[in-house]
């Protein structure tokens, strides 16, 4: 059974848990998933844990009685037994994220600047850029995106297994701060980047066309390899 199918079964079966057990299990689920391990084996392990917990629940046992009081240590031991993800799958997923990110940026830039020019008579319908600096900007933005994703994942992982959960507004403020820094750096990079390389001019609507093409590529990748569903 494919890992995505196991996830669907997991989501359905999880509803049988009590509120307390569900909260504990979801902490374990998040903690175990946020490791660079085989997705297939990870989901199989998580499903097995869920089955054990439901069985224990029916017998009147708590999660601590089944897995011990140190749930983090228990999960760490499980993670050690899960094999790493195949490099080919990791590469495909990374490529999918990059293509999707570029598709969003390109589409919004194309449609946004095209609309501003034709409806408000502002800006230009032609975008000019230096090839060298343009490539560096894209690479830098991808690095910033990678750091942003890693920080968010680390933050999510740090919220698990806490006896006293932080208030929702505190969590919102934390993620808002990380997101604001990411957006600010993404906007700042092309502004401070000096121009170098061949000068190229293209219609702004070309970005929207490129975005659609990239979305199509991302869709095909996802459909063929079931990267997200």
Entry field: residues in the chain: 229
Report the distance separating Cα 100 and Cα 220, nearest Å. 11
Given a cut of 80, is residue 229 above it in pLDDT? no
Alpha carbon 112 to chain centroid, angstroms: 25
Kindly give the residue spans of alpha helices, DSSP state H, lying in the chain.
3-13, 19-33, 39-58, 63-67, 71-81, 87-120, 131-158, 168-192, 205-225
49 DSSP assignment: H
pLDDT in tens, 36-92: 899 999 999 999 999 999 999 999 988 888 898 899 999 999 999 999 988 888 889
SS3 226: coil
Q: What share of the chain in percent tops pLDDT 90?
A: 64
Structure confidence at residue 76 (pLDDT): 95
37 DSSP assignment: B
Structure confidence at residue 79 (pLDDT): 95
Number of alpha carbons in the 13 Å side-chain half-sphere of residue 174: 14
| Beta pairing partners, 84 | 37
Burial class (CB in 10 A: 0-12, 13-18, 19+), 178: middle
Report the distance separating Cα 215 and Cα 224, nearest Å. 14
Tokens of 30: 């998040």
Q: What share of the chain in percent tops pLDDT 70?
A: 100
Given a cut of 90, is residue 165 above it in pLDDT? no
Structure confidence at residue 31 (pLDDT): 95
Given a cut of 80, is residue 163 above it in pLDDT? no
Number of alpha carbons in the 13 Å side-chain half-sphere of residue 124: 7
Query: How high is the mean pLDDT of the chain?
Result: 91
Structure confidence at residue 18 (pLDDT): 92
Given a cut of 90, is residue 123 above it in pLDDT? no
The overall pTM is greater than 0.75: yes
pLDDT in tens, 175-201: 899 899 998 998 899 899 999 999 999
Report the distance separating Cα 162 and Cα 21, nearest Å. 14
Structure confidence at residue 78 (pLDDT): 95
Structure confidence at residue 112 (pLDDT): 92
Tokens of 105: 């940026």
pLDDT in tens, 198-227: 999 999 999 999 999 999 999 999 988 878
Structure confidence at residue 13 (pLDDT): 94
């Amino acid at each position: 059974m494919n890992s995505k199918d196991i996830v669907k079964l997991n989501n359905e079966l999880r509803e049988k848990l009590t509120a307390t057990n569900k909260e504990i299990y979801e902490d374990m689920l998040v903690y175990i998933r946020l490791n660079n391990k085989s997705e297939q084996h990870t989901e199989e392990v998580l499903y097995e844990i869920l089955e054990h917990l439901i069985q224990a629940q029916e017998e009147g046992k708590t999660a601590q009685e089944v897995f011990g009081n140190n749930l983090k240590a228990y999960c760490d031991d499980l993670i050690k037994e899960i094999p790493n993800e195949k490099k080919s799958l990791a590469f495909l997923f990374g490529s999918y994220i990059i293509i999707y990110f570029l598709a969003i940026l390109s589409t919004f830039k194309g449609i946004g600047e095209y609309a501003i020019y034709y409806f408000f008579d502002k800006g230009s319908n032609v975008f000019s850029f230096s090839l060298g600096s343009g490539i560096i900007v894209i690479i830098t933005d991808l690095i910033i995106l990678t750091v942003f994703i890693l920080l968010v994942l680390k933050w999510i992982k740090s919220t698990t297994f806490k006896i006293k959960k932080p208030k929702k507004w505190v969590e919102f403020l934390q993620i808002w701060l990380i997101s604001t820094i990411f957006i600010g750096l993404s906007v700042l990079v092309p502004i401070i980047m000096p121009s170098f390389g061949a000068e190229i001019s293209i219609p702004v609507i070309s970005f929207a066309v490129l975005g659609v093409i990239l979305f199509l590529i991302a869709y095909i990748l996802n459909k063929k390899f079931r990267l997200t569903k």
